[in-house]
């Protein structure tokens, strides 16, 4: 599945490059390739390689020669999507300046920590995450003068 | 050359302190199976933005050198390589440990990693100035072909499938196309978004691919929770780790210099091979140590012992890992082409400090180049002491809960990618790159070519267009200049040579 997904992403990038490079396909200097020259070549090669990889994969699958990685368990898949969603939620909270860095980090990463290891007691994770967050906050805000929030 | 500046830069307390900090962090990263030197350098790079160049580079080089060295600690004690570069150390290291001599194995690892590393630095010092002087003759056509050759080498050694390597490389090139066109100054694929004018930042993508991507991969692929894994490991390897801790004083009697030094010739051969392998773009410590192990076994007097717990074989792999760094740094500093993924990130770090790797670095900033040499020597000397004193401690880190490590990596990755230019957009880029890195790993695609393509994409494009602007303005320019022609031949050979040889061998066997 991952192999097919990556190749489809390649196809999409190829189409994207091809469609939008027409906006700057006129060269500004005579005899010099335009700004669209490289994107167009990359688009063509990506298209070719995506199709080649897909065809190779499908043929190998038909012959039973594909060694797909072990499938992710269903329960783990849910946890995985939960983890990714939490990470994006964290970025969104950051983007829209909702809450505070330490508070958001402590809550979200405690859940992440609990998701990553179902046997660690949550309060241990929470304490650890809080410690790491405060350490990183101090490191970046106090020493490196980064405005984290 | 201002020698007082050089000495003051290398030996100033702050540089020594940051280098030591980098070495301790690198040891932690290297000793933990699953954390690589690339990941360590990528996620800790933003911490060095606000430091003086020599302090920041000292820290990064410390992480790089010590992570590669410390990968051998878990390879020896657990049989699990801490970093990919230590795969070959598991062949003999764990067997030496299991026969009750873990301290000897760790001492061999420390000693030979350090002298291997110093040998690599020596080669770097001897070779880099002449190579840089030669590279000054390069014009745009040569640079175009050097970059194309670099990309082709990365692809050729990147895994089982060449088409997958090329594909990933071109995705990296596509990402590098976003932003202002280097020659015409036209905005490409920016959609009038201010954040995209400079293109995607290199560092968040690296952090995402190697930090978040790796954390997601480990989470998805771990069959049992880490706590169970540690319990399992404890049962299997308790004897080794506890023996190591208890018997460290007793085992000291095995550390006779004669016993350790008997691998000197094998070390020399392995170091020479590794420096050469390391200088080839796209290779790394893993390939260098495997090639060295195989070659040294062929000529060794004790070839039957290789793989059965030979001290010489362990010395060979440990020396190879760290000698390879000198080779990779040579290509990176003299030509601006990364020898491996870590040196690709180091290029980003150097550029951040306004030092562009390439031949001009040697003529414009020779002092900085010498400072880098000095820092590399200091790193190796520090590893000798910290490695000897801290191996026991770092061996215990392998028992830390995986979830805690993963969360720390994720927080560092997100904050680090934000810190580059105080932009949450970079955080989102890092997360998307992490997801993509996870997909690449699941689909058995190599990640290395993306790194190289992101760096070399712009180099290929700008130099290609410059070549076309030169008279006669045709493609023939690439074929009539001797260096460029040689590079074209090498590129074709590296891309198609292995498959042609394979087919010839197949045909002969039939």
Q: Do A136 and B415 touch (CB under 8 A)?
A: yes
Write the CB contacts of B51 (distance below 8 Å, at least 6 apart in sequence): B18, B59
User: Looking at CA atoms only, how far is residue A82 from chain B in angstroms?
Assistant: 12
What CA–CA distance (Å, rounded) separates A71 from A80?
13
- Which among B52, B26, B24, B46 is positioned nearest to B412, based on CA atoms? B46
Q: Is A63 exposed, middle or buried (0-12, 13-18, 19+ CB in 10 A)?
A: exposed
Averaged pLDDT for residues B202-229:
73
**Closest residue, chain A, to B416 (C-alpha):** A140
Residues of B in contact with A18 (CB under 8 A): none
Is there a contact between B274 and B133 (Cβ–Cβ < 8 Å)? no
Residue B60 pLDDT: 93
Residue B508 pLDDT: 80
Residue B225 pLDDT: 45
Chain B 383-402, CB below 8 Å of chain A: which residues? 401-402
Lowest mean pLDDT among A48-62, B30-44, B393-407, B426-440: B393-407
Is there a contact between A112 and B244 (Cβ–Cβ < 8 Å)? no
The Cβ-side half-sphere exposure at B389, using a 13 Å CA radius, reads 8
pLDDT band of residue B506 (cuts 50, 70, 90) is confident
User: Looking at CA atoms only, how far is residue B358 from chain A in angstroms?
Assistant: 24
- Residue B180 DSSP label: E
What CA–CA distance (Å, rounded) separates B289 from B283?
11
The residue that leads in pLDDT, B412 or B398, is: B412
Residue B375 pLDDT: 93
Q: What is the value of ipTM here, to two decimals?
A: 0.89
**Closest residue, chain B, to A139 (C-alpha):** B47
For residue B188, list its beta bridge partners: B179
Residue B430 pLDDT: 92
Q: Is the pLDDT of residue B2 over 60?
A: yes
Residue B377 pLDDT: 94
Residue B121 pLDDT: 93
Averaged pLDDT for residues A93-106:
84
Is there a contact between B192 and B174 (Cβ–Cβ < 8 Å)? no
| Domain extents in chain B | 3-509
pLDDT band of residue B337 (cuts 50, 70, 90) is confident
The residue that leads in pLDDT, B334 or B100, is: B334
Contact status of B229 with chain A (Cβ, < 8 Å): no
For residue B179, list its beta bridge partners: B188
Averaged pLDDT for residues B157-161:
65
Q: Tell me the pLDDT of chain B averaged across its residues.
A: 82
Averaged pLDDT for residues A75-81:
80
Residue B160 pLDDT: 64
| Look-up of token digits 């695609």 | B445
- Residue A111 DSSP label: H
Contact status of B173 with chain A (Cβ, < 8 Å): yes
- Residue A139 DSSP label: I
The residue that leads in pLDDT, B284 or A118, is: B284
The residue that leads in pLDDT, B260 or B191, is: B191
Residue B230 pLDDT: 47
**Closest residue, chain B, to A114 (C-alpha):** B403
pLDDT exceeding 70 applies to what percent of chain A? 89
The residue that leads in pLDDT, B379 or B288, is: B379
pLDDT band of residue B432 (cuts 50, 70, 90) is very high
pLDDT band of residue B253 (cuts 50, 70, 90) is very low
Q: Do A32 and B226 touch (CB under 8 A)?
A: no
Residue B155 pLDDT: 67
Contact status of B108 with chain A (Cβ, < 8 Å): no
Q: Is the pLDDT of residue B249 over 70?
A: no
Residues of A in contact with B414 (CB under 8 A): 87, 90-91
Length of chain A (residues):
149
Write the CB contacts of A19 (distance below 8 Å, at least 6 apart in sequence): none
Residue B223 pLDDT: 54
Give, in degrees to the nearest 5, the angle at Cα B465 between B462 and B468. 150
Averaged pLDDT for residues A18-34:
77
Q: Is the pLDDT of residue B226 over 50?
A: no
**Closest residue, chain A, to B426 (C-alpha):** A91
Q: Do A31 and B473 touch (CB under 8 A)?
A: yes
Averaged pLDDT for residues B59-71:
91
Residues of A in contact with B163 (CB under 8 A): 49, 52-53, 56
Residue B228 pLDDT: 44
| Look-up of token digits 């957009």 | B425
Q: Tell me the pLDDT of chain A averaged across its residues.
A: 82
Residue B476 pLDDT: 83
Residue B379 pLDDT: 93
Lowest mean pLDDT among A41-45, B2-6, B139-143: B2-6
Residue A119 pLDDT: 60
Q: Is the pLDDT of residue B240 over 60?
A: no
Residue B157 pLDDT: 61
Q: Is A122 exposed, middle or buried (0-12, 13-18, 19+ CB in 10 A)?
A: exposed
- Which among B88, B27, B31 is positioned nearest to B379, based on CA atoms? B27
pLDDT band of residue B250 (cuts 50, 70, 90) is very low
Residue B309 pLDDT: 81
Instruction: Tell me the two tokens of residue B253.
Output: 């009697």
Closest by Cβ to A38, choosing from B177, B403, B410? B177
């Amino acid at each position: 599945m991952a192999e097919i997904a990556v190749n489809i992403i390649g196809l999409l990038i190829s189409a994207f490059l091809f469609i939008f490079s027409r906006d700057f396909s006129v060269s500004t200097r005579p005899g010099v390739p335009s700004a669209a020259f490289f994107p167009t070549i990359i688009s063509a090669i990506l298209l070719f390689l995506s199709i080649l990889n897909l065809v190779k994969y499908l043929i190998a699958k038909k012959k039973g020669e594909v060694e797909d990685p072990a499938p992710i368990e269903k329960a783990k898949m849910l946890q995985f999507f939960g983890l990714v969603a939490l990470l994006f939620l964290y970025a969104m909270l950051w983007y829209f300046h909702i809450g505070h860095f330490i508070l958001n980090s402590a809550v979200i990463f405690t859940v992440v920590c609990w998701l990553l290891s179902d046997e660690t007691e949550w309060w241990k994770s929470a304490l650890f995450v809080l410690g790491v967050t405060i350490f990183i906050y101090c490191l970046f805000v106090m020493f490196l003068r980064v405005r984290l929030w | 050359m201002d020698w007082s500046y050089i000495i003051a830069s290398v030996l100033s307390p702050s540089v020594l302190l940051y280098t030591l900090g980098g070495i301790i962090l690198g040891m932690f990263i290297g000793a933990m199976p699953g954390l690589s030197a690339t990941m360590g350098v990528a996620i800790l790079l933003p911490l060095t933005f606000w430091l003086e160049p020599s302090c920041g580079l000292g820290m990064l080089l410390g992480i790089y050198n010590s992570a590669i060295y410390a990968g051998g600690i878990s390879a020896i004690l657990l049989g699990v390589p801490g970093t990919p570069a230590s795969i070959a150390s598991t062949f003999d290291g764990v067997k030496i440990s299991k026969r009750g001599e873990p301290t000897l194995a760790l001492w061999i690892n420390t000693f030979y990693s350090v002298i291997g590393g110093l040998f690599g630095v020596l080669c770097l010092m001897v070779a880099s100035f002449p190579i840089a002087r030669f590279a000054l003759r390069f014009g745009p056509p040569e640079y175009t072909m050097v970059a194309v050759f670099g990309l082709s080498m990365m692809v050729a050694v990147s895994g089982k499938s060449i088409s997958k390597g090329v594909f990933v490389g071109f995705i990296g090139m596509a990402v590098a196309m976003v932003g202002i066109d280097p020659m015409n100054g036209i905005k490409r694929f920016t959609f009038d978004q201010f954040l995209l004018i400079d293109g995607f930042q290199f560092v968040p993508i690296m952090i995402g691919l190697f930090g978040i991507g790796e954390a997601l991969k480990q989470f998805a692929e771990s069959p049992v929770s880490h706590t169970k894994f540690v319990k399992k490991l404890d049962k299997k390897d308790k004897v080794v780790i506890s023996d190591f801790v208890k018997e460290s004083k007793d085992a000291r009697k095995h550390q006779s210099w004669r016993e350790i030094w008997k691998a000197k010739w094998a070390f020399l051969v392995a170091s020479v091979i590794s420096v050469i392998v390391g200088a080839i773009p796209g290779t790394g410590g893993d390939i260098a140590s495997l090639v060295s192990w195989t070659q040294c076994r062929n000529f060794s007097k004790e070839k039957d012992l290789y793989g059965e717990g030979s001290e010489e074989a362990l010395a060979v792999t440990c020396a190879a890992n760290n000698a390879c760094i000198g080779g990779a740094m040579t290509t990176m500093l003299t030509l601006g082409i990364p020898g491996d993924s870590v040196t690709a990130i180091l290029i980003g770090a150097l550029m951040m400090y306004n030092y562009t790797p390439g031949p001009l670095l040697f003529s414009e900033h020779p002092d900085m180049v010498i400072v880098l040499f000095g820092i590399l020597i200091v790193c190796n000397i520090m590893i000798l002491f910290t490695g000897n004193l801290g191996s026991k401690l770092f061996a215990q880190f392998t028992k830390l809960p995986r979830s805690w490590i993963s969360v720390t990596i994720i927080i560092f990755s997100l904050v680090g990618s934000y810190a580059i230019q105080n932009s949450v957009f970079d955080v989102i880029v890092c997360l998307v790159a992490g997801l993509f890195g996870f997909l690449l790993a699941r689909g058995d695609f190599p990640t290395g070519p993306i790194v190289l393509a992101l760096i070399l994409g712009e180099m290929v494009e700008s130099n290609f267009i410059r070549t076309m602007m030169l008279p006669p303005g045709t493609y023939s320019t690439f074929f009539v200049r001797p260096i460029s022609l040689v590079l074209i031949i090498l590129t074709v050979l590296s891309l198609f040579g292995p498959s042609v040889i394979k087919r010839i061998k197949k045909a002969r066997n039939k």
